[in-house]
Amino acid sequence: PTRVLTGITTSGTPHLGNYVGAIRPAVAASRAPGVESFYFLADYHALIKVQEPARVQRSTLEIAATWLACGLDPDKVWFYRQSDIPEIPELTWLLTCVAGKGLLNRAHAYKAAVDKNREAGEDDDAGISAGLFMYPVLMAADILLFGAHKVPVGRDQIQHIEMARDFGQRFNHLYGEHFVLPEAAIEEHVATLPGLDGRKMSKSYDNVIPLFAPRETLRKLIYSIVTDSRAPGEPKDAGSSNVFQLYQAFASAEETEAMRGAFAAGIAWGEAKQALFERIDAEVAPLREKYEALIAEPAKIEAILRAGAQRLRERYAAPRLRALREAVGLRDLA
């Protein structure tokens, strides 16, 4: 079967960008015939950004409840927490020893942190942890351990998947064909969902719309989206509008074309935002209800995650690591 794998970092509350970029396509993919899916909570990755234990735990619960509310079936899909699989950090070390440092120097997240230091007149690496630098290697271990063919992600993650291919290829070259080389699966029309201010929707920009914000909060947030100052009746440019891009991510092709026409005909911003709110709420409201019920039962969620990790270790992670340890010349622990 085709193996599909993706993760979400447990560093905050899930937002519409996570939903359209990863969760919605991943749940749809998991229902296709001939697909084996792996969806997980990247809590080791969260430690790179968040050093508040309570926040990591809360976010883990929220993101798990979100996956389940969005239709993930834990009996049909591998669903687990990254830190429940000790084989992942173990593989991270094996990959660290074949990963090119020069390649890691070029990772976007690391480079952005260095650029920020330079602008502030600081040393290049001031305040940057080795964890941030190694982020792509941990992510490669997530993907390569389970032999994923396809990784549904937003555009911001493409570079990480290319790096996973690179590390996997080097390992294969040195030790034989152990790893499948993964490919990113990007939904073209929602590759980067804009946030309230028009930049990429991201926790780090503080411009997110939480996926399960209460209805009235959702309405207020949508009305606060930044637009240009064109008056009602003046034609508006759909191509450059974040209201339009958000609408497109939630509407059918016909609805999107009708909205493009309305933009050209000068729809008022208030009216466009109302249509956007109604479209998003129609899709999210039934999921929000399930989410509220799930989040009220953390013990149930915990049991699902533990059972998932245990089965996955037995079925894949432990035997895979055994073969990889042997391949590089380490002793079999069994």
Could you tell me which residues are annotated as the binding site for ATP?
9-11, 17-18, 154-156, 193, 200-204
Rounded to a whole number of angstroms, the minimum distance from the CB of residue 46 to ligand TYM is 8
Nearest CA to 172 out of 8, 292, 324 is that of: 324
For 278-300, b where at least 16 C-beta lie within 10 A, e where not — what string? ebbeeebeebbebbeebbeeeee
User: Which residue positions form the known binding site for L-tryptophan?
Assistant: 142
Nearer to ligand TYM, 42 or 280 (CB): 42
| Adjacent-strand bridge partners of 99 | none
Residues contributing to the site for ligand TYM (CB under 6 A) = 5-9, 17-18, 20-22, 42, 45, 139, 142-143, 151, 153-154, 156-157, 192-193, 200-202
Q: Which two tokens stand for residue 128?
A: 């940057």
Rounded to a whole number of angstroms, the minimum distance from the CB of residue 14 to ligand TYM is 8
Rounded to a whole number of angstroms, the minimum distance from the CB of residue 9 to ligand TYM is 3
User: Which residue positions form the known binding site?
Assistant: 9-11, 17-18, 142, 154-156, 193, 200-204
- In 202-250, which residue ranges form alpha helices assigned H by DSSP? 215-223, 242-250
Nearer to ligand TYM, 242 or 313 (CB): 242
* Single-letter amino acid code for the residue at 269: W
Rounded to a whole number of angstroms, the minimum distance from the CB of residue 296 to ligand TYM is 24
Site of tokens 């909060």: 217
| Adjacent-strand bridge partners of 5 | 38
Q: Distance between CA atoms of 151 and 153, rounded to whole angstroms?
A: 6
Rounded to a whole number of angstroms, the minimum distance from the CB of residue 114 to ligand TYM is 19
Nearer to ligand TYM, 186 or 262 (CB): 186
Nearer to ligand TYM, 137 or 324 (CB): 137
Per DSSP, the residues of 245-268 read HHHHHHS-HHHHHHHHHHHHTT--
Nearer to ligand TYM, 8 or 267 (CB): 8
